[in-house]
Amino acid sequence: MERDMVFVPKTRQDYATRVGKFVHELHELTEETPIATLIHSIGQQLAGWPLYLFMNVTGHNNHERQHEGRGKGKVNSFWTVSHFNPASPLYEAKDAKLILLSDLGIAITAAVLIMLSKTYGFYNMAIWYFIPYLWVNHWLVAITFLQHTDPTLPHYSGESWNYVRGAAATIDREFGFIGRTLLHGIIETHVLHHYVSTIPFYHADEATEAIKPIMGRHYRADVRGGSLGFLKSLWSSARWCQWVEPSEGAEGEGKKVFFFRNRNGLGTPPMKLKA
């Protein structure tokens, strides 16, 4: 998990800290109310992308490993670990001028939007730009969230991770005509993308069929319900996937392989730890 870039799952300790509990108390927590899940999901879908860009929300927090020393003492926070900051540990020093050019382009765009708002009114800009912007955010976050979050997916510690294992920790889903035609199969063939990202989309279905027998049981897909099933998975994943921990009774290498757990009585219950 230390190498993941986005939607890095919370550990048991991370989740306990978030809800103000000790790790040994998680198996005793009452169910999270559906309204709380709904509020969190709406916030994720609308604001998740900007927060990721500004604060690296859901991204890894292992910035000490940045080989140039740019991450020393830094944790995910506004601007310090931002995709807009040329000094961010997310980049190398050679990238600084490119980040500044990107920031300049964003600033010019923002200035144009302000001018258009003054000319045509904020209401018109909200209808024709800001609401569509949030709609795009929703789909971007939904697709990437569901590509990397599912109760069946394993996650690995640094000691147990390797490229092949890490690349398999994703899942293909189905989004019907929109997914296969308008989005070029990015939802339906994402596992392949993790292994060979240079294969063009028009060969992705063929290549996916080719890797299935090689990956065997390590290949994951959930195509139940088509487009409606995809949307339902947003809710089910939010309810099932709250933190990761080793399976109870795991020994040896198994202690370094993590699966999703939750406080909602779904699937395998969390481990019972002594105080």
Q: How far apart are CA 3 and CA 14, in angstroms?
A: 17
- For 224-243, b/e burial (b = at least 16 CB within 10 A) is eeeeebbeebbeebbbbbbb
**How high is the pLDDT of residue 48?**
93
Q: What residues in the chain have per-residue pLDDT under 70? A: 275
Tokens found for residue 227: 């487009």
**Which residue bears the tokens 């991450």?**
71
Q: How far is CA 12 from CA 227, 241, 245, 272, in A?
A: 32, 12, 6, 12
Amino acid (1-letter code) at residue 26: L
**How high is the pLDDT of residue 275?**
66
**How high is the pLDDT of residue 21?**
82
The per-residue pLDDT for range 183-240, each reduced to its tens digit, is 999 999 999 999 999 999 999 999 999 999 999 999 999 999 889 999 999 999 999 9
**How high is the pLDDT of residue 259?**
95
**How high is the pLDDT of residue 6?**
86
Tokens found for residue 253: 């290498």
